[in-house]
Amino acid sequence: MDRRHWLAQQDRDHVWHPYASIAHPPLATMIVSADGVRLYTAEGQALIDGMSSWWAAIHGYNHPVLNNAAHDQIDRMSHVMFGGITHEPAVALASMLVDLTPEPLQKVFFADSGSVSVEVAIKMAVQYWHGMGCPEKNRFLTVRSGYHGDTFGAMALCDPVTGMHEHFTSVLQQHYFAESPGCRFDEPWDDAYIQDFKQLMEARHQQLAAVVLEPIVQGAGGMRFYSPEYLRQVKMLCDAHDVLLVADEIATGFGRTGELFACNYAGISPDIMCLGKALTGGYMTLAATLATNRVSRGISKNGGVLMHGPTFMANPLACAVAAASIRLLLDGPWRENVHRIEQRLLSGLAPCRGFSGVADVRALGAIGVVEMKTPVDLAAVQKQFVNQGVWIRPFGKLIYTMPPYIISDNDLDLLTRTIVRVAQSL
């Protein structure tokens, strides 16, 4: 048995892949290298990556600027503990994030992953109200069709029906769920869209530590795009009822929607913001939870400390690459590229509207979605995409793409043509 087949067999025998059964392991595509927007398989096939490695690799792969940042930092130190120690990559990155995000956000807590950044946000909100002498404010309000991660605190804020975590319902803390925003991104506003949320806020605000939601784009909960006015209304209700607002920008941050942060569409500033995924350009796992001075001072009253401390918090290697990734983004024509991608996604996916099995087609920024009427067979559909030289990973009823911002028009057109062919076949 040659090494390629040995590796494939070892993968099937021992490696547990995400959202998969070990009894029926998926046939995983072996990737041996990546460059630009292409992944290269062990069989020598090149696949255009339509997923940006789960939305993170916004600059594509093997980028010389990010490679150099990693090389330069690893020669100094790859990691040191952050308890009682600080270092330039973390301080420089924190300063950069404060400058980029809405002005009230002044404090940065580094974490390992997006899910953990949500856990930190939950702790911040609960500890804030403890510090303010209101320990009864320890529940959360969110909206259905949301997704915030796979750890326990984050799971409790995901849609209890569609959030992939129904097996854990009995052990999760119970929170409050308003109906998912019914207003599409570009539809005229009607106050009826906010009524369910408003009623819950008015009835439960004395128990609520915070509202947690994904601004403008609900990601893994359904790839739904909703009106900025909904977010503005949520912010006004939070302020009126003295409830914190947590913006989960893990998937939307760093330009994915066409704005640097999705909150910018609504012109609002959250009390706490979660960042991850594209933070390092897909090179390293790193996340951050930002808070206002109001929140940090409330937590710190009477000697209070934030009770969280990841071992690899503020990993210097990840922080150095993240700072390089952000500079690379800001120094380039990211806004023009994302707009270009949006327009080509809209035109390229438009033929899907005529297919009997398609329920909806939509695009916002560098996000394109074909929503089918029935769930797709992931294994079969994934094989179709690979056979046609494209890497797309559907879920549920959704065939969607979030390509790297550097993708060329030709590659993007090939990507959308392939999605159209596959959707037509279903």
Say what the pLDDT of residue 32 is.
96
- Checking if the pLDDT of 162 tops 80, the result is no
Q: Which residue has the higher pLDDT, 215 or 19?
A: 215
Under a CB-based contact definition with an 8 Å cutoff, are residues 260 and 97 in contact?
no
* CA-wise closest residue to 349 among 372, 378, 374, 382: 372
Q: How far apart are CA 67 and CA 284, in angstroms?
A: 11
Q: What is the pLDDT of residue 303?
A: 86
pLDDT at 4 over 80: yes
| Confidence at residue 334, expressed as pLDDT on a 0 to 100 scale | 98
Hey, what domains does the chain have and what are their CATH numbers?
3-62+333-425 (3.90.1150.10), 76-331 (3.40.640.10)
Mean of pLDDT values over 283-302: 96
Task: Give pLDDT, residue 106.
Answer: 98
In this prediction, residues 64-84 reach a mean pLDDT of 97
What amino acid is encoded at 371 in this protein? E
Q: What is the mean pLDDT of residues 314-319?
A: 98
The mean pLDDT of the chain is 95
pLDDT (average), residues 315-332: 98
Owner of token pair 């009524």: 195
Q: What's the CA gap between 56 and 341, in Å, rounded?
A: 16
Average the pLDDT over 235-244 and give the result: 98
pLDDT band at 26 (very low <50, low <70, confident <90, very high): confident
pLDDT at residue 49, as a whole number: 98
Q: What is the pLDDT of residue 87?
A: 98
Report in angstroms the alpha-carbon separations of 291 from 35, 84, 156, 270. 36, 21, 21, 8
Range of lowest pLDDT (40-49, 157-166, 192-201, 300-309):
157-166
DSSP 303: G
State the pLDDT confidence band at 208, using cuts at 50, 70 and 90: very high
Comparing 2-16, 174-188, 229-243, 305-319, which segment has the lowest mean pLDDT?
Answer: 2-16
Report DSSP letters for 191-242, one per residue. GGGGHHHHHHHHHHTTTEEEEEE-SSEETTTT-EEB-HHHHHHHHHHHHHTT
Q: What is the pLDDT of residue 304?
A: 87
Three-state helix/strand/coil letters over 36-70: ECEEEECCCCEEEECCHHHHCCCCCECCHHHHHHH
pLDDT at 163 over 70: no
Is the torsion defined by CA of 298, 299, 304, 305 positive or negative? negative
pLDDT in tens, 185-202: 999 999 999 999 999 999
**What is the mean predicted confidence (pLDDT) over 106-112?**
97
Q: What are the pLDDT digits (tens) for 356-376?
A: 999 999 999 999 999 999 999
Return the sign of the alpha-carbon dihedral for residues 159, 184, 376, 276.
negative
pLDDT at 25 over 80: no
Phi, psi of 289 (to 5 degrees): -120, 120
2-6, 51-55, 121-125, 242-246: the lowest-pLDDT one:
2-6
CA 334 to chain centre: 18
Contact by Cβ (8 Å): 197, 143: yes
* Catalytic site positions: 19, 147, 248, 277
The pLDDT of residue 167 is 78
| Averaged pLDDT for residues 17-24 | 84
| pLDDT value, residue 172 | 83
The 10s digit of each residue's pLDDT in 32-59 is: 999 999 999 999 999 999 999 999 999 9
Of all residues in the chain, the percent with pLDDT exceeding 90 is 89
Greatest extent of the chain over all pairs of C-alpha atoms, in Å: 67
